[in-house]
Every structure is written in structure tokens, then in C-alpha cells.
Structure 1
């Protein structure tokens, strides 16, 4: 699978921390401090992407951490609808959905934003969630594994020493081209270069390559073709992955143990 300029699925973490904190989280959210994406930065970046893609942003997903924790969630939804002509998703673990104000459900319905809920083995009030969704015609999509009521959970172990072959890893990576990460004016084919800083700080580790070589500046790129070319090539951080060592595990809350990631 390769990145095609007319089918890019962008994800933006508007919050780094989480209220669920799954073990082994790929975004390292259990290790992240409380932080919120600046709304002005978000709009400026979307405006630039809109120009690069001639007003045809294929898909944008607001994520985290837990996106519903952002105090300016409504503003993010409105700006997303302003610049994204294609698919628009608000991704959540569902914990806060039953208490989410009606105006959020209404805004999602009015702007064509789908609320995507990852189906973790936790108790949430689906009756209330669907009552609110039905009230305004809000689209709810449940993210779960094929044939399952819930999403299967996997451990994606890393090579702390970065001794793997980056090109081979990139070729075998399931996630490449599926989720292009936008953060602070830069895009990458992987979330790790942006989020591994939380791992590094918490465990006082030099593992992972978090340099700017892993991403491309959307303001310095001449056009979308230059960005796409970059996204279809391995990055330095690829050498820390073990794509053939993924293992299914039982979901649970993180204990912030380094073994969850290596």
C-alpha cells in the first residue's frame, strides 16, 4: 500500500494525554503530560493542507490521547468542517460520550463529522449515547475487529537499539499509508517520531529517532507531490520497529512498565 495524494488519511492528536491509558499505547499516551493542541496552529496547518490539496482533503481524524478532553473541542470540529471536504472523524474511547453536551452531537451531525468509538472491554452507557445520536442524526461508528464485539489488542514491540533494516520494516509495515500524522506543521508516515519523546523522558532513554528527518515541513514543501514522495519512503525511526513480532495480548490499563513497549 502506498500513499496517493488524493487518498491521504490525516490524523491529528489534539490531546496527548488520555483518561483510559491502554497498556502499550502506540501514541505513548500513558506517559504523556497533560497538553492540548493550540487551535491557531491547527487551523493554520489545515489551511496550508487545503491549499496543497486544492481544497480536496480526503480525510481528517481528530485523535489523541483522548480527543474529547480538549476544552476547545467545538472549535476543532468547526475548523475541521471548514477545511475538510472529505471524510471527517472524531475518534474517542467512548468514556465521556454519554455526558458529552448535546450541542456536540448536533454540531457533528450538522458538519458531517462521524464519532468513531474504539470498542474497548469497558462499560459505557450506549443507551444514552445512541439516544443523543438519534436525537440529532449523529453518525456513530464502532471500531472493532472483524467478527468481534470488541477490538483486539496487540503489543507492537520495539528494538530499543534500532538495529533493524529500515527499508524492510517499511515494506512490511501495516500502518504505512494508512494514517499520515500531522503535527505542528509537519507530516510523517508514523506517529512514533512525534510521540516517542514521552517514552524518552519517562524512561530516561535514547531509544527511537525523533529528529526532523522523520517528517516533512508542509510549509517548505513545494507541492503535495514532494510530500507524497517523502511519505512513500522509509524514515530513520523505521529501524526501531519489529513488524513481524506483533503479538495479540489481553487489553488492560497501563502500569507504565517499559515492557509494554519493548
Structure 2
């Protein structure tokens, strides 16, 4: 058996143990050190780097702080004047539900392969929606006019993105409601062409499926794309499932409808950035929009809030993909840290009942009022 050490979080350690058992691997975890941002067990870290005949140390975290843990291992190795090889547990592993979907040979990545990838990206094919939920996180219910994404501009952005990262583990094609864009099939085909190894999903409320051209369903099916249904009270779940199964499409849908949204904006812009980021449910929802990427959709879509309410929320504008300062291997680090826009996100969120077709929007649909709290 080949001996390895593990540094990371408890969830990912358990996942790795199960994966090694499933694959009947010849790797054996000789010692592990659980870390949560800092290493409180220095002695155990020293013991790990001093192990003899160890193949490498695996960094395994369910957060995107692999480089932080890598530095902890390097410091311990330097203190003990040891040379230690470091590998990164493939982040893709935490997104899959069945080990047979994963290529075991890519279980452990070297630093370059890990740096040259990002875990998640979403983009709009339209900013418009047919449901227009109250307090929509992407502001679709206050978008005026036809705001379909221009295919050629988007394609240019994706090609630039391909220059910066070799792989994106999960890509979600969204809106708004993506089936409102009659060119959705083109976006599906091109996304799969550029990122053949990605898990690709189309995110829909399902209410337009009975009107979709079957050629679009064919392209979704042939390009190995999953449809994720956002199940809201107005959605006829049984009808949606019937259509998806009749078209032999892979899909995911909750058994319980969403009856609540969250207000998340602090219009004062005085939130503690670190705390807001740490408790944010959107911080891994990296977003591509009009030549830029951002930690989440808010910095790039808050323009609709500003226009509608004549506000001036200055949330920055994301990372310019075409900036000469942005090099290959940099996006993972740039997208996984607090940004100035976080000061407009409330540390304590407030729940609001879900309502569709909400066109009488008010700032209070998004902005916290300091009453009922929700800590995510």
C-alpha cells in the first residue's frame, strides 16, 4: 500500500475515505490533520510531514481554501527541513453523487492542474423571466425590454475564459428563464464544445417546457446536459416531470417547492466584508456577464436595481476577462475571496414569502429591515 497524509476538513476526509474504498485504491491514509482555516494541532502537522515513505500529502477541503492549507503544510515541512510532495483532492468529487461518474485517475491533482480550473460558473442566456419572483436575486422582475444575451459576444467571452482556465467542473446556464431565449440550443452546444468535461446544467422553472421546440430538447440530450428545475408553488411538478421523462432528459427537481426567498441587501453598504462573505450562500456562484466574471451575480446585475430605483449601489464591476493583468491560473484565487461588493450584503438575511409575477417592486423586497433574521 502507498502511504499518504491528508490535511483538510472533516467532510472531505470522510469523502476521500469512501472514495478510496470504492475504487479499491492502493493508497492508504496514514495520518490526517483536520484544519478549519488555522492549524491548532501543530504537533500532529509536524508528525505528518515527518512520516517516512509517504507518497504525498493530500489537501482536501470542502471550501476553496486549498492554497491556505498548502501553505500550512509547507511551513511545517520547512520547520522540520523536510521535502514533502503536495497534491490536491479533485474538487469535482464534492459535486457528484455517485463515484462511478468520476475518473479515478484524476483523483489527485498537482498544483498547476488545480490552479488552472474553477469549480463553478453560471451565466445568463437572458435576463428576462416569465415568473418574475418578488425579490429575485438576479433582479429579473425589474428588467425592462428584451435582454437576451448576444451569442457572438458570449462566445467571445467563453473563448477568452478557455484561455484562462482549462476546465470548469460545473457550468449552469441560467436566466431569467433560459427557455425564453430561442437560441438556447446554440449556447448548449457551444458550451459543451468548449468544456467537454464539465457538468452542464440548464436551470429553469419548467413552466415553458410544453412550448419548447423539440430540437432544443434533442440538443440538450445529445450534449449530456441536465435540466435543473426550480420548483416554485406555481409549477405543476407532475406535468414538468412527465415532459422531461417523455423527452428522455436527465433532470433534477426538488420534492418540496420553494415558499421563501431571502432579503440580502444592506443598502447602507457598511457590512463587515469578511463576515458577509463568510456567511454568504452565493459566494461560490461565480458569474460570467458581458466580458467580466465576478464572485456572484450581484456586482454585475445590481445595475437593474440602480436603474429601477434611481440608486447608486457601487458594487464594483467584477474581473475584466480582457485585462492584461489577468493571466492563466489566476481566476481561482481572484474569484474565491471577499470583494468590495460584499459590504452591500447583509450579515443577517431576512426571509420573505415567495410571490410570483411581482411587478410592483419595492426596495424592501431586497433590502433588510432589521426585523426577523436568518443566519445562513
Range of TM-score over shorter length:
0.7 to 0.9
1:61 match = 172
1:193 match = 299
1:258 equivalent to 2:363? Answer: yes
TM-score (norm 1): 0.88
1:96 equivalent to 2:208? Answer: yes
Q: Which runs of 5+ in 1 are unaligned?
A: none
2:119 match = 8
1:173 equivalent to 2:280? Answer: yes
Compute the displacement of 1:123 (Å). Answer: 3.9
CA contact (8 A) 2:205 2:235 kept: no
Q: Quick check: which has more Rg, 1 or 2?
A: 2
2:152 match = 40
CA contact (8 A) 1:102 1:132 kept: no
Q: Per-residue displacement from partner, 1:85-136 (whole Å, max 9, x unpaired)?
A: 2111111111101221221211111000111110000143744x44543344
Q: Which runs of 5+ in 2 are unaligned?
A: 1-62, 66-113, 368-376
Q: Per-residue displacement from partner, 1:181-221 (whole Å, max 9, x unpaired)?
A: 01112110121111111111111112x22433xx1122325
Q: Aligned to 1:239, what secondary structure does the other structure show?
A: helix
1:225 equivalent to 2:225? Answer: no
2:245 match = 134
Compute the displacement of 1:243 (Å). Answer: 3.0
1: CA distance between counterparts of 2:329 and 2:263? Answer: 31
2: CA distance between counterparts of 1:218 and 1:63? Answer: 20
**Higher percent of residues as strand:** 2
2: CA distance between counterparts of 1:104 and 1:124? Answer: 21
Q: Aligned to 2:245, what secondary structure does the other structure show?
A: helix
Count matched residues: 251
1: CA distance between counterparts of 2:326 and 2:353? Answer: 45
1: CA distance between counterparts of 2:328 and 2:272? Answer: 28
2: CA distance between counterparts of 1:103 and 1:11? Answer: 23
Compute the displacement of 1:176 (Å). Answer: 1.2
